[in-house]
Amino acid sequence: MKSNKGESRRSQSVRNIARGGALLGGALLAILLLVAWLDWNWGREIFSHICHQKGDRCLILGGTALPVCTRCFGIYLGIVLGCIGQLFLDLRSRLTSTALWAVAAGATFANGLDVLLELMRVYTNLLSLRFVQGLCLGAAVALFVLCRAITPSLPNQNGCSNRLPSEVSQG
């Protein structure tokens, strides 16, 4: 029973992190879409420091390219989806550590291989492939972080209040 209570609090803590990640990530995606939709140069300049913004490698919204490339957009969307997945499916209790490592390593390797193959000119500019790989990497990183997250410790191991009886009676 006590163990369940502790587990429930840990689960709540991870849910809070996932909720925060989904909200902040969602806000970031909304800003990216707005910058493209309004063709806002000022916003585009801000994001130019975290992405190359090459037009042919960006998704198009309303005739204007997004301020980040397809892979970056996929990563951000993947992070949001990973957080939502944790919120609604409680993947922390279902995924093993080995599975998490395998998924994260696989997604990272796939992205690295894609960059390498492009540099070797095996193929060029496959937007959908880049988007899917970014999506997988973002979701894998989000799940890796959330499922391995260190949660705050309980006030004491018995699940009782740490306050002294005199403090309780006073207030």
Partner 1 sequence: MTEDPEIVNLDECPIKPALLAGAPVSFVLTLFPLSYALCCLPLVIGGFVATTTFVSKYRIRVEIKVGMKVAILSCLAGFGASTTLYDLLWVAFDYRIGLNWYLELLSNFAQSAPESSRDQLLESIDTLKSHKIGFGVVVQQALTVIVTSGIGGAIGGAVASSLFKKGSLAQ
For position 159 contacting partner 1 by CB under 8 A, the verdict is: no
What gap in Å lies between CA 22 and CA 85, rounded to an integer?
10
For 23-49, b where at least 16 C-beta lie within 10 A, e where not — what string?
Answer: eebbebbeebbebbeeeeeebbeebee
Binding string, 6-35, against partner 1, x = CB under 8 A?
A: -----------x------x---x-------
> Cα-atom radius of gyration of the chain, to the nearest Å?
21
What is the nearest approach in angstroms of partner 1 to the Cβ of residue 142? 9
Helix, coil or strand: residue 60? strand
For position 116 contacting partner 1 by CB under 8 A, the verdict is: no
**Residue number with CB closer to partner 1 (121 or 169):** 121
Q: Which chain residues interact with partner 1 by CB under 8 A?
A: 17, 24, 28, 42, 45-56, 65, 68-69, 71-72, 79, 141, 144-146, 148-153
